[in-house]
């Protein structure tokens, strides 16, 4: 049996993007087992995949506030204990950051990762025994699939990746609006969310809003106050998975929950402005990435072209609620996938 350690600690979208590579490896090497080092806040995601043997939760975001104290803590001792249980056939750092490379160095076995030209933080590559060149101009899912195939020595097939998630499915008539994201520039304007919610309600869909912090809760409440949407209580990730599984579909900005919904095969429409859907767009069997015909793609938390007080991306100006609604209704009724991304044809602004 071959045992592989994966290091991919965060964020939610990045973790979801790793799952197809795990499925590829499991098909190519039937007796393979995976352990996964992952931020404890996201440790429920690997439980949806039966190919993961051991989940090793970490709290890097908490530890890095006081690294010296962490090195003498019980948490560090427990991490070393878990990593000492196996001599790994391969240790794959799928993140390419200094923090993930440091974690990889604490395990025993040959370490694989992106080379200097491919890693997000090039210095991370000095920690690896084998450094692998992977193009940067392809989707994140495909980058990780290539990394795994070259690390483990199998031929990668050309078909689209399979997330292989296990969950109880349903089909209730409600739509989840995923408005929350950490970047100000990724925020679709509130007035657009309000109008979209009203359009969906008129079509007899129940509209629900998620939130993860006080700021997102306040935004959700403002949207609900001016529409017929429902603000849900704060939910654990496993409960959100169950919610997504039973939904008609989801509409999302570029955020982790949107990537999770798409991975679960739910009709999911992604609204893109400052980030590039070619590189980090929704990936799954029933998804559509929608990009303005003013494609900002500034890749910045503060859009340099923004003309709004809320600092949302200028590229969103072309993506009206009417356009998003029409595309979502079409996506829900379409059994196939809408590949790539589209530009809007209608330039009418939301009133």
CATH of residue 66's domain is 3.40.50.2000
- Could you tell me if residue 164 is inside a domain? no
> What pLDDT sits at residue 340?
47
| Pair 325, 196 in one domain | yes
Tokens of 291: 């990009």
- Could you tell me if residue 245 is inside a domain? yes
Q: Give pLDDT tens digits for 158-209.
A: 899 999 998 888 778 999 999 998 877 788 989 999 999 999 999 999 999 9
Among 32, 159, 155, smallest CA distance to 92 is for 32
- Could you tell me if residue 237 is inside a domain? yes
| Pair 134, 10 in one domain | yes
Q: What is the mean pLDDT of the chain?
A: 89
What is the pTM for the complete model shown?
A: 0.89
Contacts of 220 by beta carbon, 8 Å cutoff, 6+ apart: 179, 180, 209, 210, 211, 229, 231
| Pair 181, 297 in one domain | yes
Determine the average pLDDT of the residues in 33-61. 92
Contacts of 214 by beta carbon, 8 Å cutoff, 6+ apart: none
- Could you tell me if residue 168 is inside a domain? no
Domain boundary among 118, 152, 186: 152
| Pair 135, 179 in one domain | no
Of 43-52, 149-158, 226-235, 311-320, the range with the lowest mean pLDDT is: 311-320
- Does pLDDT of 338 surpass 50? no
Among 313, 324, 317, smallest CA distance to 207 is for 324
Domain boundary among 121, 152, 183: 152
- Could you tell me if residue 169 is inside a domain? no
> What pLDDT sits at residue 346?
45
| Pair 14, 100 in one domain | yes
- Does pLDDT of 253 surpass 80? yes
- Rounded CA gap, 171 and 150, in Å? 39
| Pair 129, 183 in one domain | no
Q: Quickly state the pLDDT bin for 336 (edges 50, 70, 90).
A: very low
Percent of the chain's residues with pLDDT above 90: 70
CA dihedral 181, 46, 33, 263 (to 10 degrees): -70
> What pLDDT sits at residue 317?
75
Percent of the chain's residues with pLDDT above 70: 86
- Does pLDDT of 67 surpass 50? yes
| Pair 182, 221 in one domain | yes
Determine the average pLDDT of the residues in 255-277. 93
Domain boundary among 89, 119, 152: 152
- Could you tell me if residue 161 is inside a domain? no
Kindly report the three-state secondary structure assignment for every residue of the chain. CEEEEEECCCCHHHHHHHHHHHHHHHHHCCCEEEEEEEEHHHCCCHHHCCCEEEEEEECHHHHCCCHHHHHCCHHHHHHHHHHCCCEEEEEEECCCCHHHHHHHHCCEEEEEEECCCCCCCHHHHHHCCEEECCCCCCCHHHHHHHHHHHHHCCCCCCCCCCCCCCCCCCCCCEEEEECCCCCHHHCCCHHHHHHHHHHHHHCCCEEEECCCCHHHHHHHHHHHHCCCCEECCCCCHHHHHHHHHHCCEEEEECCHHHHHHHHCCCCEEEEECCCCHHHHCCCCCCEEEEECCCCCCCCCCCCCCCCCCCCCCHHHHHCCHHHHHHHHHHHHHCCCCCCCEECCCCCCCCC
| Pair 268, 198 in one domain | yes
- Does pLDDT of 225 surpass 50? yes
| Pair 133, 264 in one domain | no
> What pLDDT sits at residue 262?
96
- Does pLDDT of 351 surpass 60? no
- Does pLDDT of 304 surpass 90? no
| Pair 182, 136 in one domain | no
- Could you tell me if residue 283 is inside a domain? yes
- Does pLDDT of 149 surpass 50? yes
| Pair 179, 145 in one domain | no
Q: Give pLDDT tens digits for 3-43.
A: 999 999 999 999 999 999 999 999 999 999 999 999 999 99
Q: Range of 38's domain? A: 2-152
- Does pLDDT of 120 surpass 70? yes
CB 94 within 8 A of CB 16: no
Backbone angles phi, psi at 42, to 5 degrees: -115, 10
- Does pLDDT of 314 surpass 60? yes
Of 67-71, 210-214, 235-239, 342-346, the range with the lowest mean pLDDT is: 342-346
- Could you tell me if residue 13 is inside a domain? yes
Number of domains comprising the chain: 2
| Pair 116, 210 in one domain | no
């Amino acid at each position: 049996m071959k045992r592989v350690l994966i290091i991919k600690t965060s964020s939610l979208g990045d973790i979801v993007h790793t799952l197809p590579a795990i499925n590829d490896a499991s098909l190519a090497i039937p007796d393979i087992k995976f352990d996964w080092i992952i931020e404890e806040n996201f440790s429920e995601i690997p439980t949806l995949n039966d190919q993961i043997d051991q989940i090793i939760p970490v709290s890097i975001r908490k530890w890095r506030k006081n690294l010296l104290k962490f090195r003498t803590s019980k948490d560090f001792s427990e991490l070393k204990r878990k990593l000492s249980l196996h001599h790994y056939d391969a240790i794959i750092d799928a993140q390419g950051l200094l923090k993930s490379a440091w974690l990889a160095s604490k395990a025993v076995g040959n370490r694989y990762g992106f080379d200097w030209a491919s890693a997000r933080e090039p210095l991370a590559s000095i920690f690896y025994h084998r450094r692998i060149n992977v193009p940067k101009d392809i989707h994140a899912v495909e980058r990780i699939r290539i990394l795994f195939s070259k690390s483990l020595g199998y031929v990668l097939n050309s078909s689209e990746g399979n997330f292989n998630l296990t969950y109880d499915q349903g089909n209730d008539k409600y739509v989840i609006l995923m408005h929350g994201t950490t970047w100000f520039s990724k925020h679709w304007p509130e007035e657009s969310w309000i109008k979209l919610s009203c359009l969906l309600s008129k079509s007899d869909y129940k509209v629900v809003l998620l939130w993860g912090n006080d700021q997102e809760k306040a935004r959700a409440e403002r949207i609900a106050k001016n529409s017929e949407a429902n603000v849900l209580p704060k939910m654990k990730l496993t409960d959100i998975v169950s919610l997504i599984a039973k939904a008609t579909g989801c509409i999302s900005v570029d955020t982790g929950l949107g990537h999770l919904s798409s991975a679960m095969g739910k009709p999911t429409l992604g609204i893109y402005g400052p980030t590039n859907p070619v590189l980090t767009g929704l990936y799954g069997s029933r998804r559509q990435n929608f990009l303005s015909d003013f494609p900002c793609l500034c890749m910045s938390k503060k859009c340099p072209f923004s003309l709004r007080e809320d600092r949302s991306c200028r590229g969103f100006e072309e993506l009206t609620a009417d356009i998003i609604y029409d595309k979502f209704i079409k996506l829900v009724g379409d059994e196939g996938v809408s590949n790539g991304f589209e530009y809007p044809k209608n330039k009418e602004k939301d009133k």
